[in-house]
């Protein structure tokens, strides 16, 4: 079955960096993009950006430009998200999600399915 | 950025009730609207994509409608496993944005 398995919880100090991994299985890795979404405690969902597993092209949300790097490693079917200069308000669960695209007469529609189980990143001094 | 506004932010309902959640986009998004369900402590799961298309494996009691700026998610007969938080998401333009969520609780 299609599955995304993320790395374990992290505790970081302010100013540090974190790199979360997302290992895909059950499908051809290079045929789909991966998005990263975060959720602060008790809050809603926030899209951080997307990477093509086919060619490595990225699209980052402006809010994270300069602070985030998304990469992929095709031989291991793994996507990575690195966030630098961590602050306390970066404390959140970080999810990876596979992007699917459906081509219809009215357009190309995409969504996220499945999602990884989430990685809690805690930023605290 | 396109802002997505969901209402209500929470609701209480009985098993068997018909439930409707609305989502409004701050700009025109055609039919580029998805709905997700998130149970406590779990990752979100897509229910509806392209405003009204049911994702494979999702029960038919879930349905979506709307186009342009106004959208609706309907659960025709609420089941115990449907108590969760629901999010809409627009994929019309980057950055992709989510609504604030609607928490559906047991009455």
Would you call A99 an interface residue with chain B, using a CB distance cutoff of 8 Å? no
Total Cβ atoms within 10 A of residue A93: 20
d(CA B63, CA B65): 7
pLDDT above 70 as % of chain A: 100
DSSP string, B68-101: TTEEEEEESS--GGG-SEEEEEE-SSSSPEE---
Total Cβ atoms within 10 A of residue B32: 24
d(CA B54, CA A58): 28
d(CA B102, CA B88): 9
Q: Residue A106's pLDDT is what?
A: 86
Residues of B at the A interface (Cβ-Cβ below 8 Å)?
30-32, 34, 36, 38, 43-46, 49-50, 53, 55, 87, 89, 91, 94-101
Q: Is the pLDDT of residue A104 over 90?
A: no
B45/A115 CB distance under 8 A = yes
Please give, rounded to a whole number of angstroms, the shortest distance from the CA of A113 to a CA of chain B.
6
d(CA B37, CA B19): 14
**Per-residue pLDDT reduced to its tens digit, A36-78:** 999 999 999 999 999 999 999 999 999 999 999 999 999 999 9
Residues from chain B contacting residue A98 (CB–CB below 8 Å): none
Q: Residue A107's pLDDT is what?
A: 87
How much is the mean pLDDT over chain A?
97
d(CA B15, CA B31): 30
Would you call A73 an interface residue with chain B, using a CB distance cutoff of 8 Å? no
As a whole number, mean pLDDT of residues A5-25 equals 98
CB hemisphere CA count around A20 (13 angstroms): 30
**Per-residue pLDDT reduced to its tens digit, B80-102:** 999 999 999 999 999 999 999 99
Total Cβ atoms within 10 A of residue B90: 25
Closest CA in chain B for residue A49: B95
Residues from chain A contacting residue B87 (CB–CB below 8 Å): 44-45
Please give, rounded to a whole number of angstroms, the shortest distance from the CA of B48 to a CA of chain A.
9
Q: Residue A49's pLDDT is what?
A: 98
Closest CA in chain B for residue A115: B43
A46/B99 CB distance under 8 A = no
Total Cβ atoms within 10 A of residue B22: 17
Q: Is the pLDDT of residue B106 over 90?
A: no
Q: Residue A85's pLDDT is what?
A: 98
As a whole number, mean pLDDT of residues B5-14 equals 98
Closest CA in chain A for residue B48: A111
**Per-residue pLDDT reduced to its tens digit, B21-77:** 999 999 999 999 999 999 999 999 999 999 999 999 999 999 999 999 999 999 999
pLDDT above 90 as % of chain A: 97
Question: DSSP character for A88?
Answer: G
B32/A107 CB distance under 8 A = yes
């Amino acid at each position: 079955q299609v599955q995304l398995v993320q790395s374990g919880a992290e505790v970081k100090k302010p100013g540090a960096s974190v790199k979360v991994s997302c290992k895909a299985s059950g499908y051809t890795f290079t045929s789909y993009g991966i998005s990263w979404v975060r959720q602060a405690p008790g809050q809603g969902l926030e899209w951080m950006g997307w990477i093509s597993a086919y060619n490595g092209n990225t699209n980052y949300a402006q809010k994270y430009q300069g602070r985030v790097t998304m990469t992929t490693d095709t031989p291991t079917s793994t996507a990575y998200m690195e966030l630098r200069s961590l602050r306390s308000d970066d404390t959140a669960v970080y999810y990876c999600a596979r992007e699917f695209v459906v081509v219809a007469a009215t357009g190309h529609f995409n969504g996220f399915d499945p999602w990884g189980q989430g990685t809690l990143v805690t930023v605290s001094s | 950025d396109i802002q997505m506004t969901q209402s209500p932010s929470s609701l209480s309902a009985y098993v068997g009730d018909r439930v409707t959640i609305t989502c409004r986009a701050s700009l025109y998004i055609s039919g580029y609207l998805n709905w997700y369900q998130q149970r406590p402590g779990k990752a979100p799961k897509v229910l509806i994509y392209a405003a009204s298309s049911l994702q494979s494996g999702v029960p038919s009691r879930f349905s979506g409608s709307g186009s342009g700026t106004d959208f609706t998610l309907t659960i025709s007969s609420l089941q115990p496993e449907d108590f969760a938080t629901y999010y809409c998401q627009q994929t019309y333009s980057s950055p992709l944005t989510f609504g604030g969520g609607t928490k559906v609780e047991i009455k």
